């Protein structure tokens, strides 16, 4: 199965590290995984992927807001409506649950079928989640 791990660094290199460990865990299940930095690959299309993981972090420690680039990217990423997906927020601050809710709302607005979501704190946890994630 073709899987995309889409991440928005939002100024944090930890997001990239966690996304790459998620991808490694998913690859261990035998899937083809593409790691997409949405801030540098802004014209990437997601239509060919059967499962999409989207992750970011909040704008600051005291904020629940996420980057507006998430909605813009998903809006211009091709047909994503009906695609099964997974949302994750990298723990950074006080309002991570609200940040995750905002991310999920952005994804559902595009018609994505959200199966599961998580707040991830470490790269090791991300790899374990990737190995156990039910993608089929």
Mean pLDDT of 83-112: 94
- Of residues 58, 2, 48, the one with CA closest to residue 29: 2
Instruction: Calculate the average pLDDT of the chain.
Output: 94
Q: CB–CB of 6/26 below 8 Å?
A: no
Homologous superfamily of the 2-132 domain (CATH): Flavodoxin domain (3.40.50.360)
Question: Quick one: what percent of the chain has pLDDT higher than 70?
Answer: 100
The encoded tokens of residue 131 equal 């190995």
Helix (H, G, I), strand (E, B) or coil at 108: helix
Mean pLDDT of 2-9: 95
- Of residues 107, 73, 71, the one with CA closest to residue 88: 107
Listed by start position, the domains of the chain span 2-132
Q: Answer whether residue 60 shows pLDDT above 90.
A: no
């Amino acid at each position: 199965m073709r899987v995309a791990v889409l991440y928005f660094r939002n100024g944090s290199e930890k997001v990239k590290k966690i996304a790459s460990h998620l991808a490694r865990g998913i690859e261990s299940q035998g899937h083809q995984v593409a790691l997409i930095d949405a801030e540098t690959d802004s014209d990437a299309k997601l239509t060919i992927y059967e499962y999409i993981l989207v992750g970011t972090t909040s704008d600051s420690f005291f904020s629940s807001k996420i980057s507006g680039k998430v909605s813009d990217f998903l809006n211009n990423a091709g047909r994503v409506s009906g695609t099964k997906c997974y949302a994750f927020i990298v723990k950074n601050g006080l309002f991570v649950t609200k940040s995750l809710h905002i991310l999920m709302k952005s994804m559902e607005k595009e018609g994505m079928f959200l199966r599961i979501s998580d707040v991830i704190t470490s790269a090791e946890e991300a790899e374990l989640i990737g190995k156990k994630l039910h993608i089929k």
